[in-house]
A and B are shown apart, each in its own frame.
Chain A
């Protein structure tokens, strides 16, 4: 995932300027990337079938909603001032209800219709979150908790029992095209769009607002509008996660979404992103999602019960936050000692 949202720089001996810039902008992600590689190797070592093509495509399909919801939470967190989006899980889950219980019965089944509807739905929900945070000035954790409860309730209200049917193309998005898992194509499309977005000034504005809101405002950044847009993008990513989730569970289910909120926040912390904002990027959220998934894979392989997985998730969340703080501390100290 080629995202680039970081203002962080570190002197580097790399020869090619473009490579140097990519490395510098994403250097916050060094720890999650290392974790991802280590966990990947460990997984491959303890369960040989992990690398087989069939299991590979299935794994990617399970991974996809986690990664996308983690990316969705990343952006509000980066915007600072306690920014967070708790509603991503229920919102993603509600997509399965919307598609299976509303759109398909109404005869709307083609991707040309469903994908735009899902995107607009996400943008509007995110815009409401953003409006409440940026203009009404509610604390993000409260405003998005309200949205969390709203979609959790709406999902089970519209569809009390899991069921309904989903279009075939959606299920295929979780399979593979030849040797390539279809999810990769989805990731590639999102990565391409995001790369185009981040070639502009959005990351700079976002990290400035997250880094020091007053500095950004007095310098002329439209802080409120930036936050509104940021929550809207988060909503779109959450709904895309919901689209993939719908294909994965192949039905509508109002209860499947909410757990993704916690896993997304854990993934953001694992992705090396400061919950205080102003430092990190979308890539961090994606890597954090991958790390979390690989941890859960290992636990599943070891036949750990669901409840114990939850215990371990909690420990991982706290560990990741503590690690973030420690890495940050060491970084500042090593740089402070450097003359100049």
Chain B
């Protein structure tokens, strides 16, 4: 491929696509050059995912042109058609066949219907090499996919894309489940590919990734391209301004996340007397070899949890929710009068008011064909009924309160939830749990794949909930988020809680140090 001779690898012009009444894409334009890493930025619902589905052959546009390496096309036909042209895509959702092996998942789609595309030996070598680039050298190729962690699955879908002979690699939020180490390995690989004249198009909600990796940025807003700029000329504030199109948001965001402490001013005031403890963890050892954990979570406290992938923080929240049994020790909910009741099961935890919001919203918790309102209210009917009859009006009122406080943008509460963007789906899911008036809210990376503005709104929701006295256990993969939102950050390393850092006086360096088992407490 003579990359130098071509001015553009991919040019999109005036592309539009509607789903029923919803105009997902109105006039998108984009130009990707050879030897370039290009970032596609935009809020949830800006049309990024739709554009990426068109570029990967999943969807066909209603209008607009697509020029690939000089050839003008209406569409790419199918995913296999796009791959034949040299476009490989990693989708936002980790799409895997769970019963099949790692190798089968990586080479999925490279075969004819009855004939393998490659020999087994070539597949093994290719898969090892691709996983090696991504820092997963030791992963067993014959392991069934469902035994892998979420991060390993996501890396496997990346490996699936990069074993193909690609000239344009599209990554749609492909790093959302990865820890810092694996993300860096991936970025090294992308930079190396760029130096060979290949092109990368990626979306990320982590602004530091965009600024650190991309050469150019194209910003989409409400389905249209509003800006294209070189990263060297762009600022964090400028990009966020283009994304939101609202000047006031620029101010809020620039004062928001960031370890400079600007947000600390509007942090919720703590009352003078220490609030009563609501949740007690007593001598909980996650694994046979790990240190027992003892801690109390007080009313109104937001406890952050951090750790590199697979260090025990997920097991810990699952123990709190009654989904997992620890090697030893127990979790207790403490009543008003101080009486302690142990958590034995998920149902038990629910009865005690401990609500758990899981991580993978596609598989856990959303009912695609049901309406936005039904998805919100589905767990509430036990509260909203009289003699078994549903009190829709009361539920409707609670829903309206929620849509106002969360600024949920929704055409109509009667439409199916599947038409909402990912961030708005997450809002509904969170709203459902918050509306249940939990006594303790346990959330597992709730803002994964949510854009910066929606995040700010959701931070507000969490803060208000805590101000009402509900303690929140908040597991997150983003350190900045923990520093912004939480009171204390518990850091896990090799199955043990190794540090408990006060968020106000800690820096992200402190947290990272503790994550690598290097903290002093």
- In the complex formed, the residue of B with least CB distance to A201 is B111
Interfacial residues of chain A within 206-220, with CB under 8 A of chain B in the complex:
207-208, 211-212, 214-220
B residues near A201, Cβ cutoff 8 Å: 111-117
Contact digits for B93-122, partner A, Cβ 8 Å, 1 yes 0 no: 101111111001100111111111100000
Interfacial residues of chain B within 147-174, with CB under 8 A of chain A in the complex:
147, 160
A residues near B95, Cβ cutoff 8 Å: 212, 214-215, 218-219
Contact of B110 among A220, A225, A340 (CB under 8 A): A220
B114 lies within 8 A of A212 (CB)? no
DSSP majority for the B interface? Answer: loop
A229 to B113, CA, bound (A): 9
CB contact under 8 A between A219 and B144, given known A211-B98, A212-B98, A279-B99: no
Contact of A216 among B78, B83, B97, B116 (CB under 8 A): B97
Interface centre among A9, A221, A336, A340, by most chain B C-beta atoms within 10 angstroms, is A9
B99 lies within 8 A of A220 (CB)? no
A79 to chain B, nearest CB (A): 12
A76 to B143, CA, bound (A): 26
B79 lies within 8 A of A200 (CB)? no
Is A204 at the interface (CB under 8 A from chain B)? yes
A9 lies within 8 A of B111 (CB)? no
B residues near A222, Cβ cutoff 8 Å: 78, 80, 113
A305 to B176, CA, bound (A): 62
B108 lies within 8 A of A208 (CB)? yes
Contact of B79 among A204, A218, A332 (CB under 8 A): A218
CB contact under 8 A between A226 and B100, given known A218-B56, A218-B79, A218-B89: no
Is A158 at the interface (CB under 8 A from chain B)? no
Is B146 at the interface (CB under 8 A from chain A)? yes
Is A202 at the interface (CB under 8 A from chain B)? yes
A332 to chain B, nearest CB (A): 7
B113 lies within 8 A of A215 (CB)? no
Q: Interface size bucket, B side?
A: 20 to 34
B100 lies within 8 A of A211 (CB)? yes
Is A197 at the interface (CB under 8 A from chain B)? yes
- In the complex formed, the residue of B with least CB distance to A224 is B78
CB contact under 8 A between A215 and B83, given known A8-B144, A229-B113: no
A13 to chain B, nearest CB (A): 14
A208 to B100, CA, bound (A): 7
A212 to B79, CA, bound (A): 15
B144 lies within 8 A of A215 (CB)? no
Is B62 at the interface (CB under 8 A from chain A)? no
CB contact under 8 A between A219 and B108, given known A212-B97, A214-B95: yes
A175 to B266, CA, bound (A): 88
CB contact under 8 A between A220 and B83, given known A9-B144, A197-B114: yes
A residues near B101, Cβ cutoff 8 Å: 7, 9
A204 to B117, CA, bound (A): 12
A221 to B78, CA, bound (A): 10
A207 to B91, CA, bound (A): 21
Is B58 at the interface (CB under 8 A from chain A)? yes
A211 lies within 8 A of B114 (CB)? no
Is A278 at the interface (CB under 8 A from chain B)? yes
Interfacial residues of chain B within 53-96, with CB under 8 A of chain A in the complex:
56, 58, 78-80, 83, 89, 91, 93, 95-96
A219 to B104, CA, bound (A): 11
- In the complex formed, the residue of A with least CB distance to B146 is A332
Contact of A7 among B80, B83, B144 (CB under 8 A): B144
A85 to B408, CA, bound (A): 44
A211 to B108, CA, bound (A): 12
A215 lies within 8 A of B97 (CB)? yes
Contact digits for A291-335, partner B, Cβ 8 Å, 1 yes 0 no: 000000000000000000000000000000000000000001001
B residues near A59, Cβ cutoff 8 Å: none
Using A201-B116, A201-B117, A211-B100 as known contacts, list a sample of 15 further A-B pairs with CB atoms less than 8 Å apart, ordered by residue number in A.
A7-B104, A7-B144, A9-B142, A9-B143, A207-B99, A207-B104, A208-B104, A218-B89, A218-B91, A218-B95, A219-B95, A219-B109, A221-B111, A278-B97, A340-B147
Q: Mark A residues whose CB is within 8 Å of B.
A: 6-9, 24, 197, 200-202, 204-205, 207-208, 211-212, 214-222, 225-226, 229, 278-279, 332, 335-336, 338, 340
Interchain residue pairs A-B with the least CB separation, the first 7 = A220-B109, A219-B109, A7-B100, A211-B97, A201-B111, A215-B95, A220-B80
